[in-house]
């Protein structure tokens, strides 16, 4: 091939160009550090590099997200930890407060401290990260406890001023509100929730006490035990009517064969012992005024063993003893085991005194004896030798049990000051306190605050007269009158002698005082409480109720002063069936309802038919016995349909009178109603009383993405519930520590502690329960913290790997690039010098 | 019979002249050693006919005496086959180097991988939403979201702007290239005509050939071409190359003439009948768009549909005036129009020979010599104005472009008998569909491929056009799905009680006066909705009035990895990655092809140089050779001179 100059130069030029451009590439790579300068350098590499960059950018973002998540979780954990320690302090305080040795004033101090702790917990509920409240769900702008919450109370009262409904409305800043309607006992009657939907329209929802939604158009109707009615309409208006009058009776009928023994103990007491054929007995002990002091009942338990119970005149069960003395010194003392001491108290003759000395002390022993020469009391007085006037006197009863001590000590002026302590070490103080002790034998030792000892012994009353009637077959109707609140107003006992069909009805008031005794039927005669015959009937006011016995019919009518509803009862028998007719009348004397109970005394089966004022049947209650002798109560309504507990059959007539039958007990209560008086609106907000906000979204979760599509909820959505439970716990604590009527109860306080896996514990409304809840929330947070830590480690690892891969794809290997550049430089230089030589060398140079 | 005494002188004179010619040619070669396109030349030396010549009276002498040398011709040393190869290589190189440039510009616009490309903007954008999810009510986080979103939108806008800029530039370059091609074709035609004038005289215009070859080399960079020699006629020698017809070779193998001449006759040369051709005429190329209209320099994208070719020639015709009637003839002398002038109004009615005839009217403008030509519909088609002194009438179209000039013809007595009409007539000689231009050949094809053209199925294709369409699609799918999600979310309530703003679009379209009701987002019209300037309207929450709820922000940020059906089930970012990868792959291919084409081009170029270019060493050697031969001839002359001297002065003097 022929080679020409121009070929040489163009070859060289192209080579030099190539080598320049190569050097340019190396140089650019070296100066940028990247071997991917444009996509065409390495399309696959560029795609990879882009996706590595994307992933790295993402990971960097996730790293930041993890920091945020950690911030949230750490703050939450710290706050929960603080709440927990605060609750531990509350627990300590409550444990201490539960001890009854604490005076009310001590409990007040504890209350003050707990109030502070509550405030602290509210502050913790408003914990912030930056400007975000962490316990407010998605409403991070809103403090959990806000001052903008409005809480108001309206009380509805009956004619007597008693509260029958308590309506508390808590209105949130956004206009949403929760109204809780409670009855007098604090049971929730209904809840009215007002919320706003996304368009800002108000939506009102009403739920009953069991949180069941009451669907439109029904209104929620709630009737409490006293027959008060609280009605909540769909629009949230509340209509409260109270049972103006109310009556409730219990009637018990049976047949038995009984022996009646009447024993007189002098003028002190009369004992009436009714012994039934089956060995059960009722012993009534009456004082000289015929008032029942005690009733000793001997019944049989399931196994046939006798069981003794003692009740006082008002029917309350006695656990210790009853001691009654009359103006004549007559004493009746009945113990819970049924033993009794009846007699007359006599002052003890002067004591016999012996004095001994042991060199330091002189001991004077006074021994008091009764008329039989038995020791009733011993009084030991120890005084030092020489006698400076100080002494210690120990008083013991006949059994040697400590009654009290009297000490004489010198005050700063040298005067002797006497102090009396009872057996428990409690101080007996002037002016009125008298220490009185009974030794169980009816002897009484009195020590007044001045240290004077007065000993009386019981001269056991002699049985002056004891008559035992022959056993006779009787049918008994025990009838109890109750007022609207369920309190006993009167009792009636009708004993029908099966032999001659005569009956005796004994009416007593709620305290057991005899009101009247009616015998009949032919003629009907009524005697009053003093057993004196009366011709105009008996009417007695007792404890706010008027108990009236009609002299002609023998019907007893009880009218509660408060309720003005009268209930009358008459019981008759035809030998096989006892018919008890109860008539309920309002204050105007109109009949509201009539109840007719027919009982077969032999089988115990009964049927009670209740009719309204027009004579229509309202309900029928049938009581039958199963094979084991237990009562089976069946209540049917006017149509004959069964009514099952816990529903109550409630019938209202046109005049607003209610007849309510409870299938659980078979009892019927009758009441008339009138609208309750709506009290003024009372604001419950006080200056620093931050209330729990319950805005929409406060239960929402706050999520942070910690990895591709992995979202971690960083807030505590249970916070609302937890703090509302805390509120409940604190309000319970405050109520218990404030007590009722200034009196606190150690038992009530210790109930707050919980820890017995009770329902309240499980509802997290005890101190133990709420601590469990806090721990639960805390452990969730802890688990999340672990997760975040793990993810953080994972991200770090991934970052390393990704960076390495990115570097592999994108970064220049400097050694290689520099080597290449240097090599290329050498080649370039060589090409230049060789080219220069070749091009220079032409024949021209050699032709001269 | 004897040989002429002075024959030696003549023989040597021929030697001197021939060597001198050769020496001068060496000088010419050396002088043009660095001239682009120069082909080294050689003097073809040939021994002259011997003595005596043939003939009845030829003297009989022993032997056939040589009479010296003569330079027969001066020719270029060139290989036509290598030329062909060279032009093909140039063709390839032209295509690929242009494509490399275009893609490289595209890569510069994308600037990936980097910390400021669209990918980085998307990363930043999504990260800002995550940040917002972390603190949904933070005004700072919202500000960042707004800023990053604006940056993202302007990244799209920027890319679109840059790409359409590149596209516009490509169109300008393509139009300039067409101008360049037209200029080259014109020059070739001119050279052809010059060569045609020289060659019939027996000359070989080597330097004209060189000039023409350079032009053809250049032309082959733009279009795939082939050439054809055309005999010039007359005394043209065998070494004469003649005129060159240049053709565009289409993909289907057929040809479209670029420079051509019409056959005018035949000539018998050396016993062969050869065609004779007239003047070489260059066609004028125009890039055409849909409907055959020419591509213009306006900024609106016009897909290239092909090339159209036209020739222009100036034609002189005459008309004869007979009273008020003038008959216009075409160049063959056939009647074309008959014009009848109404002497009263001066209105001229033109009627052509078609059936039914087309009628034009020319109305004079009072007070001037101007006439206005209207067609049957009353549309103005032309205007004319007449110079009062010379009588020259110039007819122009309504835009003012001259159509024809009419000069009066007068008889001996000065009466006007007719008009000479000079007209430039453009004849469309053909069109070539862009799809019928060979693939990967030449600069022009590359422009069409990168700028945008209409493919065989009528669809608009082209690298930049496709990339811009992809970018538009990306912008639309991304913004649409983002908006759908964003609408479902809630912003920040002004006071925590009033309902949060919801149902708002995050991205909006920049109002474009050209398409005010644009339905889709494009890379050009994407912007962050003005409503988002109130940061509270940015939705981060999935629920009303929950300022701490950042769940929607999370969902939005997760759109990063969500596959969009409209993007072929890839995420926006992956789609963009694929786009970059495609550009990269195309680029890589183009760079490699360009390198290969460059290498092949160099090799072939070297081959050609090896044959045609001047080697100074060789020329020096030749110089010495011819110089010595010249010296020797001169010495020979002296020797003959001495013999003559002996004859003239020394003969017959024996004894004197």
Query: Do the Cβ atoms of B546 and A46 come within 8 Å?
Result: no
Q: Is B3 on the interface with A (CB under 8 A)?
A: no
Comparing CA positions, the residue from B152, B206, B230, B223 lying closest to residue B527 is: B152
- pLDDT of A656 strictly over 70: no
Size of interface A-B (CB pairs under 8 A): 212
Query: Do the Cβ atoms of A2 and B544 come within 8 Å?
Result: no
Q: Higher-confidence residue: A751 or B579? A: B579
Query: Do the Cβ atoms of A7 and B557 come within 8 Å?
Result: no
Assign B527 a pLDDT band (cuts: 50, 70, 90): very high
- pLDDT of B148 strictly over 90: yes
pLDDT at B149: 94
Q: How many Å apart are CA A267 and CA A462, to the nearest integer? A: 10
Q: Higher-confidence residue: A393 or B144? A: B144
- Chain B residue whose CA is closest to A172: B497
Query: Do the Cβ atoms of B545 and A703 come within 8 Å?
Result: no
Query: Do the Cβ atoms of B614 and A6 come within 8 Å?
Result: yes
Q: Determine the average pLDDT of the residues in A629-651.
A: 76
- pLDDT of A451 strictly over 60: yes
- pLDDT of B178 strictly over 90: yes
Assign A587 a pLDDT band (cuts: 50, 70, 90): low
pLDDT at A640: 78
Q: Higher-confidence residue: A667 or B180? A: B180
pLDDT at A742: 66
- Chain B residue whose CA is closest to A701: B549
Q: How many Å apart are CA A421 and CA B601, to the nearest integer? A: 131
DSSP A225: T
Interval B34-73: pLDDT, tens = 888 899 999 999 999 888 878 888 777 877 888 899 988 8
- Tracing tokens 């011993």 back to the chain, one arrives at A378
CB A536 within 8 Å of CB A548: no
Question: Long-range contacts for B111-115 (Cβ within 8 Å, ≥24 apart)?
Answer: B112/A39, B112/A46, B112/A50, B112/B580, B113/A34, B113/A36, B113/A46, B113/A49, B113/A50, B113/A53, B113/A810
Q: Determine the average pLDDT of the residues in B519-531.
A: 90
pLDDT at B247: 94
Report CA dihedral (A358, A361, A362, A363) to the nearest 10 degrees. -90
User: If 0-12 CB within 10 Å is exposed, 13-18 middle and 19+ buried, where does residue B469 land?
Assistant: middle
- Tracing tokens 């115990």 back to the chain, one arrives at A604
Assign B500 a pLDDT band (cuts: 50, 70, 90): confident
CB B599 within 8 Å of CB B607: no
Calculate the CA A682 to chain-centre distance.
24
Q: Is B546 on the interface with A (CB under 8 A)?
A: yes
The minimal CB distance from A57 to the residues B123, B548, B591 is found for B123
pLDDT at A151: 79
pLDDT at A219: 76
Interval A798-820: pLDDT, tens = 999 999 998 888 888 888 889 99
DSSP A680: E
- pLDDT of A302 strictly over 80: no
Give the Cα-Cα-Cα angle A817, A822, A827 (nearest 5 degrees): 125
Distance from CA of A67 to the nearest CA of B (A): 10
pLDDT at A251: 67
Looking at the DSSP bridge assignments, the partners of residue B371 are B364, B384
Half-sphere exposure of A290 (CA within 13 A, CB side): 14
Q: Which two tokens stand for residue A51?
A: 């996706």
pLDDT at A387: 77
Distance from CA of A204 to the nearest CA of B (A): 18
| Complex ipTM > 0.85 | no
The minimal CB distance from B558 to the residues A46, A199, A709 is found for A709
Q: How many Å apart are CA B338 and CA B318, to the nearest integer? A: 13
pLDDT at B152: 93
Q: Determine the average pLDDT of the residues in A580-587.
A: 76
Interface test with A, best of B118, B120, B545, B588 (most A CBs within 10 A): B545
Q: What does pLDDT average to over chain B? A: 88
Q: Which two tokens stand for residue B524?
A: 């050009």
- pLDDT of A372 strictly over 50: yes
**Listed range (A340-344, A785-789, B121-125) with the worst mean pLDDT:** A340-344
Q: Is A200 on the interface with B (CB under 8 A)?
A: yes
pLDDT at A200: 66
Handedness of CA B260, B261, B266, B272 (dihedral sign): negative
**Listed range (A133-142, A616-625, A653-662, B229-238) with the worst mean pLDDT:** A653-662
Beta-carbon contacts of residue B340 (< 8 Å; ≥ 6 apart): B324, B325, B348, B349, B351
pLDDT at A687: 46
Distance from CA of B496 to the nearest CA of A (A): 8
- pLDDT of A536 strictly over 80: no
pLDDT at A182: 83
Q: Higher-confidence residue: B348 or A197? A: B348
Query: Do the Cβ atoms of B126 and A58 come within 8 Å?
Result: yes
- pLDDT of A263 strictly over 50: yes
Whole-number percent of chain A with pLDDT over 90:
6
Interval B104-124: pLDDT, tens = 988 888 888 888 888 889 999
Residue by residue, DSSP assigns A818-839 as: HHHHHHHHHHHHHHHHHHHHHH
The minimal CB distance from B127 to the residues A34, A61, A703 is found for A61
Query: Do the Cβ atoms of A6 and B609 come within 8 Å?
Result: yes
CB B550 within 8 Å of CB A700: no
CB A229 within 8 Å of CB A240: yes
A500-518 b/e (C-beta count within 10 Å ≥ 16 → b): eeebebbbbbbebbbbbbb
Assign A109 a pLDDT band (cuts: 50, 70, 90): confident
Query: Do the Cβ atoms of B543 and A697 come within 8 Å?
Result: yes
Looking at the DSSP bridge assignments, the partners of residue A577 are none
Q: Which two tokens stand for residue A740?
A: 């009722």
Query: Do the Cβ atoms of B103 and A40 come within 8 Å?
Result: yes
- pLDDT of A252 strictly over 50: yes
Q: How many Å apart are CA A456 and CA A345, to the nearest integer? A: 6
DSSP A566: E
- pLDDT of A413 strictly over 70: yes
Calculate the CA B527 to chain-centre distance.
40
Looking at the DSSP bridge assignments, the partners of residue B554 are none
CB B347 within 8 Å of CB B341: yes
Q: Is B637 on the interface with A (CB under 8 A)?
A: no
Q: How many Å apart are CA A453 and CA B380, to the nearest integer? A: 150
Residue by residue, DSSP assigns A342-402 as: EEEEEEPPPPEEEEEE-SSEEEEEEEEE-TTS-EEEEEEEEEESS--S-EEEEEEETTS-E
Comparing CA positions, the residue from B190, B183, B194, B219 lying closest to residue B37 is: B219
- pLDDT of B495 strictly over 80: no
For residue B456, how many other CB atoms are within 10 A of its CB?
A: 10
In chain A, what's the furthest Cα-to-Cα distance? 184
Q: Which two tokens stand for residue B49?
A: 């006919």
pLDDT at B93: 92
- pLDDT of B513 strictly over 50: yes
Helices B572-612 & A43-98 angle (0-180, nearest 10): 160
Q: Determine the average pLDDT of the residues in B129-134.
A: 90
- pLDDT of B167 strictly over 80: yes
């Amino acid at each position: 091939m022929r080679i020409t100059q121009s070929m040489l130069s163009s070859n060289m030029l192209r080579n030099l160009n190539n080598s320049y451009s190569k050097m340019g590439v190396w140089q650019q790579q070296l100066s940028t550090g990247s071997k991917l300068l444009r996509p065409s350098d390495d399309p696959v590499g560029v795609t990879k590099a882009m996706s590595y960059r994307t992933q790295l950018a993402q990971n960097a973002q996730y790293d930041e997200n993890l920091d945020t998540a950690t911030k949230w979780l750490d703050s939450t954990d710290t706050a929960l930890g603080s709440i927990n320690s605060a609750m531990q302090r509350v627990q300590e305080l409550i444990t201490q407060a539960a001890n009854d040795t604490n005076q009310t004033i001590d409990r007040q101090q504890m209350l003050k401290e707990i109030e502070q702790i509550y405030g602290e917990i509210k502050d913790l509920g408003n914990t912030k990260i930056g400007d975000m409240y962490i316990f407010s769900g998605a409403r991070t702008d809103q403090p959990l406890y806000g001052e903008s919450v409005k809480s108001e109370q309206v009380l509805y009262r009956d004619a007597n001023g008693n509260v029958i409904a308590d309506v508390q409305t808590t209105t949130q800043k956004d206009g949403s509100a929760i109204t809780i309607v409670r009855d007098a006992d604090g049971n929730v009657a209904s809840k009215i929730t007002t919320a706003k939907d996304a368009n800002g329209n108000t939506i009102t929802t009403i739920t009953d006490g069991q949180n069941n939604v009451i669907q439109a158009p029904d209104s929620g109707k709630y009737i409490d035990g006293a027959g008060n009615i609280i009605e909540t309409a769909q629009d949230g208006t509340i209509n409260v009517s109270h049972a103006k009058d109310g009556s409730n009776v219990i009637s018990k009928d049976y047949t038995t064969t009984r022996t009646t023994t009447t024993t007189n103990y002098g003028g002190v007491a009369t004992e009436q012992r009714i012994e039934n054929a089956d060995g059960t007995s009722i012993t009534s002990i009456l004082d000289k005024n015929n008032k029942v002091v005690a009733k000793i009942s001997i019944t049989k338990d399931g196994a046939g063993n006798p069981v003794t119970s003692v009740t006082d005149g008002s029917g309350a069960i006695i656990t210790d003893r009853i001691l009654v003395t009359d103006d004549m010194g007559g004493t009746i003392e009945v113990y819970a085991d049924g033993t009794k001491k009846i007699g007359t108290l006599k002052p003890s003759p002067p004591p016999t005194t012996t004095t001994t000395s042991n060199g330091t002390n002189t001991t004077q022993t006074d021994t008091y004896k009764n008329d039989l020469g038995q020791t009733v009391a011993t009084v030991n007085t120890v005084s030092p030798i020489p006698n400076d006037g100080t002494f210690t006197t120990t008083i013991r009863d006949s059994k040697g049990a400590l009654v009290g001590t009297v000490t004489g000590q010198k005050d700063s002026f040298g005067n002797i000051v006497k102090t009396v302590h009872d057996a428990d070490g409690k101080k007996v103080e002037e002016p009125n306190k008298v220490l009185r002790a009974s030794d169980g034998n009816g002897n009484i030792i009195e020590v007044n605050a001045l240290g004077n000892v007065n000993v009386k012994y019981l001269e056991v009353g002699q049985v002056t007269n004891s008559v035992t009637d022959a056993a006779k077959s009787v049918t008994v109707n025990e009838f109890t009158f109750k007022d609207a609140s369920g309190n006993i107003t009167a009792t009636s006992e009708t004993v029908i002698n099966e032999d001659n069909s005569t009956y005796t009805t004994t009416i007593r008031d709620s305290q057991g005082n005899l009101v009247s005794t009616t015998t009949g039927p032919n003629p009907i005669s009524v005697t009053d409480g003093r057993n004196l015959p009366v011709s105009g009937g008996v009417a007695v006011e007792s404890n706010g109720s008027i108990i009236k016995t009609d002299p002609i019919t023998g019907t007893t009518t009880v009218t509660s002063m408060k309720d003005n509803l009268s209930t009358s009862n008459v019981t008759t028998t035809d030998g096989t069936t006892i018919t008890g007719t109860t008539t309920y009348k309002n204050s105007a004397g109109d009949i509201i309802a009539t109840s007719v109970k027919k009982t077969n005394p032999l089988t115990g089966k009964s049927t009670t038919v209740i009719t309204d004022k027009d004579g229509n049947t309202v309900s029928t209650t049938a009581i039958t016995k199963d094979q084991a002798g237990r009562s089976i109560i069946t209540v049917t309504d006017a149509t004959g349909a069964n009514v099952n507990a816990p529903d109550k059959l409630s019938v209202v007539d046109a005049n607003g009178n209610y007849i309510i039958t409870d299938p659980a007990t078979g009892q019927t209560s009758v009441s008339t109603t009138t609208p309750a008086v709506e009290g003024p609106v009372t604001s419950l907000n006080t200056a620093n009383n931050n209330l729990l906000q319950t805005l929409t979204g406060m239960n929402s979760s706050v999520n942070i993405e910690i990895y591709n599509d992995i979202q971690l909820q960083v807030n505590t959505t249970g916070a609302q519930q937890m703090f509302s439970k805390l509120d409940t716990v604190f309000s319970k604590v405050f109520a218990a520590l404030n007590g009722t009527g200034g009196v606190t109860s150690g038992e009530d306080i210790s109930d707050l502690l919980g820890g017995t896996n009770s329902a309240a514990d499980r509802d997290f409304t005890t101190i133990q329960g709420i601590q469990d809840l806090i721990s639960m929330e805390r452990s969730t947070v802890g688990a999340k913290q672990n997760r975040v830590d793990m993810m953080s480690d994972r991200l770090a690892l991934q970052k390393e790997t990704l960076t390495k891969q990115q570097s592999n794809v994108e970064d220049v290997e400097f050694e290689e690039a520099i080597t290449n550049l240097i090599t290329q430089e050498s080649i370039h230089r060589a090409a230049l010098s060789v080219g220069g030589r070749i091009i220079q060398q032409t024949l021209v140079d050699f032709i001269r | 019979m004897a040989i002429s005494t002075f024959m030696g002188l003549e023989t040597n004179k021929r030697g001197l002249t021939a060597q001198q010619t050769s020496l001068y040619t060496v000088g010419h070669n050396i002088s043009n050693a660095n001239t682009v396109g120069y082909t080294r030349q050689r003097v073809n030396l040939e021994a002259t006919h011997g003595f005596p010549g043939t003939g009845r009276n030829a003297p009989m002498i022993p032997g056939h005496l040589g009479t010296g040398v003569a330079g027969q011709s001066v020719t270029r040393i060139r290989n036509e086959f290598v030329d062909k190869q060279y032009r093909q290589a140039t063709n390839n190189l032209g295509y690929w180097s242009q494509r490399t440039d275009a893609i490289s510009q595209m890569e510069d616009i994308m600037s990936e991988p980097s910390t400021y490309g669209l990918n980085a903007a998307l990363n930043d954008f999504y990260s800002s939403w995550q940040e917002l999810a972390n603190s949904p009510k933070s005004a700072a986080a919202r500000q960042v979201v707004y800023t990053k979103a604006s940056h993202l939108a302007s990244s799209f806008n920027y890319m679109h702007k840059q790409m359409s800029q590149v596209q516009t530039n490509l169109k300008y370059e393509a139009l300039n290239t067409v101008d360049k091609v037209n200029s080259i074709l014109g020059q070739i035609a001119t050279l052809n005509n010059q060569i045609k004038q020289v060659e019939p005289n027996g000359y070989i215009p080597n330097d004209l050939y060189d000039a023409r070859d350079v032009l053809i080399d250049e032309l082959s960079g733009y279009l795939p071409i082939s050439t054809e020699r055309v005999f010039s006629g007359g005394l043209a020698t065998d070494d004469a190359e003649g005129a060159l017809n240049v053709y565009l070779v289409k993909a289907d193998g057929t040809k479209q003439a670029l420079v051509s001449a019409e056959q005018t006759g035949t000539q018998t040369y050396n016993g062969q009948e050869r065609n004779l051709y007239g003047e070489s005429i260059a066609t004028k190329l125009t890039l055409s768009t849909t409907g055959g209209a020419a591509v213009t320099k306006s900024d609106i994208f016009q897909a290239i549909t092909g090339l159209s070719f036209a020739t222009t020639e100036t034609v002189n015709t005459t008309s004869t005036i007979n009273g008020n009637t003038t008959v216009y003839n075409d160049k063959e002398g056939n009647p074309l129009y008959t014009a009848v002038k109404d002497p009263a109004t001066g209105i001229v009615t033109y009627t052509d020979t078609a059936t039914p005839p087309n009628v034009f009217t020319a109305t004079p403008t009072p007070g001037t010599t101007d006439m206005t030509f209207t067609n049957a519909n009353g549309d103005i088609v032309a205007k004319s104005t007449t110079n009062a002194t010379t009588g020259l009438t110039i007819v122009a179209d309504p835009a003012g472009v001259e159509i024809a000039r009419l000069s009066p013809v007068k008889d001996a007595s000065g009466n006007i008998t007719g008009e000479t009409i000079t007209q430039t007539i453009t004849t469309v000689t053909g069109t070539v569909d862009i799809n019928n231009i060979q693939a990967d050949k030449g600069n022009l094809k590359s422009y069409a491929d990168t700028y945008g053209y209409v493919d065989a199925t009528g669809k608009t294709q082209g690298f930049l056009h496709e990339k811009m369409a992809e970018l538009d699609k990306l912008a639309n799918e991304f913004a649409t799905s983002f908006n759908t999600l964003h609408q479902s979310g809630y912003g920040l309530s002004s006071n925590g009680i009033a309902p949060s703003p919801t149902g708002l679009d995050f991205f909006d379209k920049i109002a474009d006066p050209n398409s005010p009701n644009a339905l889709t987002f494009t890379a050009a019209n994407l912007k962050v909705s003005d409503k988002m300037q109130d940061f509270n309207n940015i939705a981060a929450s999935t629920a009303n009035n929950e300022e701490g709820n950042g769940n929607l922000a999370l969902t939005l940020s997760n759109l990063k990895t969500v596959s969009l059906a409209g993007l072929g089930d890839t995420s926006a970012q992956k789609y963009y990655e694929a786009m970059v990868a495609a550009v990269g792959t195309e680029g890589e291919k183009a760079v490699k092809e360009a390198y290969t084409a460059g290498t092949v081009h160099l090799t072939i170029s070297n081959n050609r140089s090896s044959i045609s270019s001047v080697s100074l060493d060789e020329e020096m050697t030749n110089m010495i050779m011819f110089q010595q031969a010249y010296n020797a001839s001169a010495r020979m002359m002296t020797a003959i001179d001495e013999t003559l001297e002996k004859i003239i002065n020394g003969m017959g003097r024996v004894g004197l």
